[in-house]
Amino acid sequence: MDADSARLADYTLPALVNRLRDGASADTALSEIPKPADRTHQRVLWTLAQEVGKGERMRAAAMSACANAAGRVQALATSMLADLREMEDRHNEEVLGDLLKLDHSTAQAGRLADSIAVLTGARSGRRWTKPIVMESILRGAVGRISAYQRVRVHSASTVAVAGYAAEGVMHALAELMDNATRFSPPSEEVHVYVEEVSAGIVITVEDCGLVMSAAALSRAQMAVSSEPLDLTTLSGTRLGLAVVGCLARKHGLTVSFRPSSRGGTGVVVMIPPKLIVQSAPIPRLEEPGRTSPSTPRPARPASAPPAAPAGGEPHGLPKRHRGQTLAAASPTSTPAAAPTAKPVQPHSDSGARFRAFRQASRGGGTGSGTSSPPEDGTR
């Protein structure tokens, strides 16, 4: 009897639970394990199989509901961004700052929906058919966080990330940058360094916050490790690291934590060589992580000359295409001139900062300035 009980506890029950968690039904799982001779043990197995199976079905239903909700929010955010960008072309400079603020806030809501999709195993973000240059990856990540003004990027890298992994790398970096800005003083900057090494690309995110304790570093490292995600262990303050862990496992990224030379915490991300592309020129990412509509959008009209050619750029004002926003490429670095027919009144400081960030995101690039179309129209 003791031997049968030990076999039940040490082998039979764990084997049953593993099969149920792998998706097998209670009847299927029971048929795949040895049946104990004792009737009491059989009843224990049957009861356990029914209860664990019920719990797994409820868990799967909840995950599916969350994934569907995330997909709907993603679609809504994409639609709102498209509408906002159309308004940015139709309205004058007096309201552009406010529209850019709404654009940025909507992009952050889209990132949150993408994070939920990552955690629930649903599709997240868009996929490009062509590699995306590292500069655009970094700009796109910075453009997805609220405290983008505090991030300083130090990169001379000319490599690109494979299109199928570009969204995941960008999303992971955005989560780490957001984490660094949230857990450091608002007056301090977050610095991002990029280094090309033989093992791949090393990206370091350093903040000036409080130094993490050994226990906190261990928990953070566990969250981004190669271990499968257990949603029951998540807390509301560590969702970002859980997202980074899922993306790291999906794309083969290596993420590690260490004390920062700036007094806070440093996060080191290693992008493996299989995701790196050396070809050039590479199209720049037209917008960080959002889906661009396929139809072109009209450029904002300039007041002079009145009969400019359709493909021209009077006064250096770049023509933008539908879907372009924070990282939209400009063929020249000449600043856009305001319409001369109506003087522009000084806008709020926040609007001016958004405009400056946007102009900085557009400037100084080679390549076509457009990304390849998404593989399909869904997100």
| 20 in any annotated domain | yes
Q: What digits encode the pLDDT tens for the residues 156-214?
A: 888 999 999 999 999 999 999 999 999 889 999 999 999 999 899 999 999 988 788 88
The pLDDT > 90 percentage for the chain reads 23
Q: What digits encode the pLDDT tens for the residues 49-80?
A: 888 888 888 888 887 888 888 888 888 888 88
Look at residue 229 and tell me whether its pLDDT is greater than 80.
no
Count: domains in the chain: 2
Q: Give 233's pLDDT tier (boundaries 50, 70, 90).
A: low
Three-state DSSP string of the chain: CHHHHHHHHHHHHHHHHHHHHCCCCHHHHHHCCCCCCCHHHHHHHHHHHHHHHHHHHHHHHHHHHHHHHHHHHHHHHHHHHHHHHHHHHHCCHHHHHHHHHHHHHHHHHHHHHHHHHHHCCCCCCCCCCCCEEHHHHHHHHHCCCCCHHHEEEECCCCCEECHHHHHHHHHHHHHHHHHHHHCCCCCCCEEEEEEEECCEEEEEEECCCCCCCHHHHHHHHHHCCCCCCCHHHCCCCCHHHHHHHHHHHHHCCEEEEEECCCCCEEEEEEECHHHEECCCCCCCCCCCCCCCCCCCCCCCCCCCCCCCCCCCCHHHCCCCCCCCCCCCCCCCCCCCCCCCCCCCCCCCHHHHHHHHHHHHHHCCCCCCCCCCCCCCCCC
pLDDT given for residue 22 in this prediction: 82
Q: What digits encode the pLDDT tens for the residues 254-274?
A: 999 988 888 888 999 999 999
> Are residues 23 and 148 located together in one domain of the fold?
no
> Are residues 152 and 38 located together in one domain of the fold?
no
> Are residues 147 and 28 located together in one domain of the fold?
no
> Are residues 131 and 60 located together in one domain of the fold?
no
Its domain, for residue 190, covers 126-277
pLDDT given for residue 336 in this prediction: 40
pTM of the predicted model as reported, rounded to 2 decimal places: 0.65
Average pLDDT, the chain: 74
Q: What digits encode the pLDDT tens for the residues 289-336?
A: 444 333 334 344 333 333 344 444 444 444 444 444 434 433 433 444
pLDDT given for residue 235 in this prediction: 64
Domain boundary residue among 44, 65, 86?
A: 65
Q: Give 340's pLDDT tier (boundaries 50, 70, 90).
A: very low
